[in-house]
């Protein structure tokens, strides 16, 4: 049985696919679970539904769930995808062929979702380029590089080069268990670690862009949005 809700990443934003054969309450609860499990990860991303519910009340209920988790409703995304000649309109295949594969250390890794899971550390010379979010279950060593259109989440030490929002998404985030990259880019903004930088902070940190496009790094707190004080 297919998932009641699946989320696909495209160059235009997030496309949320609904299984119309499933009960609406099942779809609603599944959407809640997906949003909650990725709490803060998609914050600021634009989204649209591939096939909206026919009943306006149901449509508004699903939109409100996404908005509660920081997403921005942008119905034009669907039309942009359909009008893109390199994109299939016959089903939920929403990325063009060259972008449906990720380059991982010189090898192609097929991925059917909008998030690539790298189940190891990346060493010097290894690169990951992906048109979606990237999660690294390990370290990014000096000399390694991760480039993502969306967010980058590192479960270990981040010491290499990281570029989130590589397609111009200024709302992208970089979160790491230990954050001390040689170079950090979000959208078109760049920050480099100073030569005399101290050791990494002994706690998770998040990097994001301020209103004036400056890269801000602060302690990661899943209970409050980036840029908001804890008071």
Residue 230 CB coordination number (10 Å): 7
Distance of CA 21 to the CA centre of its chain: 28
State residue 201's pLDDT score: 67
Report whether 95 contacts 101 (CB < 8 A).
no
Query: What's the rounded Cα separation, in Å, for the pair 1 and 73?
Result: 28
Question: Under the phi-then-psi rule, with left for phi > 0, alpha for psi from -120 to 50, and beta for the rest, what region is 188?
Answer: alpha
State residue 40's pLDDT score: 65
Residues of the chain under the 70 pLDDT cut? 1-2, 11, 38-42, 80-113, 193-201, 222-231
Sketch the domain layout of the chain as residue ranges: 5-83, 100-219
Topology of domain 5-83, CATH = Alpha-Beta Plaits (3.30.70)
State residue 158's pLDDT score: 94
Beta bridge partners of 179: 158
Tell me the CATH architecture of domain 100-219: 3 Solenoid (2.160)
Which residues neighbour 86 within 8 Å (Cβ) at sequence distance 6 or greater? Answer: 96, 97
State residue 115's pLDDT score: 87
Domain 5-83 and domain 100-219 have a common topology? no
Per-residue pLDDT tens for 12-54?
778 888 888 899 999 999 999 888 876 666 677 888 888 888 8
State residue 156's pLDDT score: 92
């Amino acid at each position: 049985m297919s998932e009641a809700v699946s989320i696909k990443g495209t160059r235009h934003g997030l496309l949320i696919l609904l299984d119309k054969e499933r009960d609406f309450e099942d779809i609603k609860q599944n959407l809640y679970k997906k949003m909650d499990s990725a709490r803060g990860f998609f914050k600021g991303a634009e989204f649209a539904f591939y096939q909206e519910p026919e009943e306006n009340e149901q449509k508004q209920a699903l939109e409100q769930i996404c908005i509660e988790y920081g997403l921005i409703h942008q119905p034009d995304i669907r039309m942009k995808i359909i009008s893109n000649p390199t994109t299939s309109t016959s089903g939920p295949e929403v990325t063009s062929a060259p972008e449906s594969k990720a380059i991982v250390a010189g090898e192609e890794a097929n991925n059917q979702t909008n998030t690539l899971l790298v189940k190891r550390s990346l060493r010097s010379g290894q690169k990951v380029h992906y048109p979606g979010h990237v999660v690294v279950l390990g370290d990014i060593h000096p000399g390694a590089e991760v480039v993502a259109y969306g967010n980058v989440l590192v479960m270990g030490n981040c010491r290499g080069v990281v570029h989130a929002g590589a397609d111009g998404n200024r709302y992208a985030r970089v979160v790491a268990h230990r954050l001390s990259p040689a170079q950090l880019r979000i959208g078109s903004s760049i920050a480099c670690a100073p030569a005399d930088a101290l050791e990494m902070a002994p706690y998770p940190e998040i990097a994001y862009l301020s209103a004036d496009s400056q890269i801000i790094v602060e302690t990661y707190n899943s209970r409050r949005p980036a840029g908001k004080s804890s008071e």
